[in-house]
Amino acid sequence: MTISTDARFEVAPSVHARPLHDEVVVLDMAGGEFFSLDEVGARVWERIVAGASIAEVVAALTADYDADAERIERDVLALVGELVTRRLVTAKPVAPR
Amino acid sequence: MPATPPPPTGEALARDRVPDGAQPAPSLADVRWVREAIEPGRISYRVGRKDAYYVAEWDGIGALWARSPSSAELFPVAGLDPVYEDKWRRGLVHALVRHLGGRTTLHGSAVVIAGRAIVFLGESGTGKSTCAADLCGRLGAELLADDTVEIDAAPPGAGGFLVAASEASHWLLRDSAEALGHGPQERWKQPVEAARPARAAVPLGAIVALSFGPDGSAPAISALRGLEAFTVINQSYVRFVFDEPDVAARDLDAIADLVATVPIVTLARAPSLTSAALARTADALSQFVHNLPRGATPRRQPPTGATP
């Protein structure tokens, strides 16, 4: 699956999430399964559910962690890819320009 | 039972009694079972649905049928040991009905130390009842709960949670009862009257997940955060409803509220039941409880994600 860095996402209707200290616990009510996101994963989650694009998430994390943007982009794409595969989030339709 | 749950005052161990249904008990033939606990060779406990009913069956003990907290009926099997029957009614049956009403019960034990409820969780055989009984005997702690720990939000303004006073006896396995000086028992688990049963609900001070370390190891207490803390509570959370998304979300919020506001730790200690080993554990717990922050006003965290 290829995810564009312009892509934005929304939380699936069957998903309920709660922050726990620095982490986020995500419950998929459809399957009854829990998923956990560590501190960095939680920051990605918070931003994408607030409507940020992949590029915006990468920019924010690169600033926060003073780290290599390419590597962060790779990690964010991998995480978001997994969230999509597990149907916890879905890509928003892109408005035609 | 009243239609509205009573305020969580923990009044004098009074339990709402689920009424017995008319015999013969309804057939379990068409129940759709959603969770089963398997012991070697048999299903010991299972929970399911039939039409509008939530159904639980305990092998050799009885069945609970409920449509709501105020519409529940119990069907004990004939010839049940009255001591176990009373414990079952006040404990697990009550806990399942509480879950239907959106209230939290954890599988564990609880005592009062320095005015605060300390709840012990852990897998079967990790010493929840033993730990509670030893602290009652050794430190003069009051007993709040043994097997099912009923937790409700404190009244508005007070903040935090209250643990109900639900049990006046320790329920100990034979080796624990003998190690704690309670003499031989006739039953698998025998109630031993607590020296000081709590009479009212007590603010929840901490949750302690019990485990065993190597023989001879010193007791070690370490804080849990985030998902580790969540998992400990989730595994002990008593549920009657497993297949309704709204209930699953409600349970997640209830557990997350506990994790956000209550100190949750693990306690690993040597499995020995010698007095010296139990005393070391009691010392470690006593020190931990007396170092807990006092009077902090807990804050609830807002939900995120599904409702951005």
Q: How far is B308 from B303, CA to CA, in rounded Å?
A: 8
Q: Do A16 and B252 touch (CB under 8 A)?
A: yes
- Which residue on chain A is closest to B248 by alpha carbon? A29
pLDDT tens digit string along B40-57? 778 899 999 999 999 999
SS3 A74: helix
Mean pLDDT of B238-262: 93
Q: Name residue B39's beta-bridge partners.
A: B42
Angle at B166 between CA B163 and CA B169, to 5 degrees: 125
CB < 8 Å to A27, chain B: 248-249, 252
Residue type, A11: V
pLDDT tens digit string along A33-92? 888 899 999 999 999 999 999 999 999 999 988 889 999 999 999 999 999 999 999 999
Q: Do B259 and A51 touch (CB under 8 A)?
A: no
Q: How far is B252 from A93, CA to CA, in rounded Å?
A: 30
Q: Which of B224, B247, B252, B307 to mutate to test the interface with A (most CBs of A within 10 A)?
A: B252
Please tell me if residue B299 touches chain A, with a CB cutoff of 8 Å.
no
Q: Do B305 and A49 touch (CB under 8 A)?
A: yes
Cβ-nearest to A17 among B242, B248, B305:
B305
Q: Higher model confidence: residue B175 or residue B235?
A: B235
Q: Do A24 and B305 touch (CB under 8 A)?
A: yes
**Sign of the Cα pseudo-torsion (B287, B291, B294, B296, in order):** negative
CB < 8 Å to A51, chain B: 308
Q: pLDDT at residue B6 above 60?
A: no
Please tell me if residue B192 touches chain A, with a CB cutoff of 8 Å.
no
Share of chain B above pLDDT 90, in %: 74
- CB contacts < 8 A, A to B, total 78
Q: Do A21 and B226 touch (CB under 8 A)?
A: yes
Cβ-nearest to B227 among A20, A49, A51:
A20
Q: Which of B189, B220, B208 is nearest to B283 (CA)?
A: B220
Q: Do B227 and A46 touch (CB under 8 A)?
A: no
Cβ-nearest to A27 among B252, B260, B301:
B252
CB < 8 Å to A87, chain B: none
Q: Do B305 and A11 touch (CB under 8 A)?
A: yes
Residue B13 tokens, joined: 């161990």
Mean pLDDT of B186-210: 92
Q: Looking at residue A96, what is its pLDDT?
A: 62
Q: How far is B14 from B135, CA to CA, in rounded Å?
A: 24
Element (H, E) at B280: helix B275-290
Binned at pLDDT 50, 70 and 90, residue B15 comes out as low
Task: Report the interhelical angle of B275-290 vs B128-139 (nearest 10°).
Answer: 80
Q: Looking at residue B91, what is its pLDDT?
A: 95
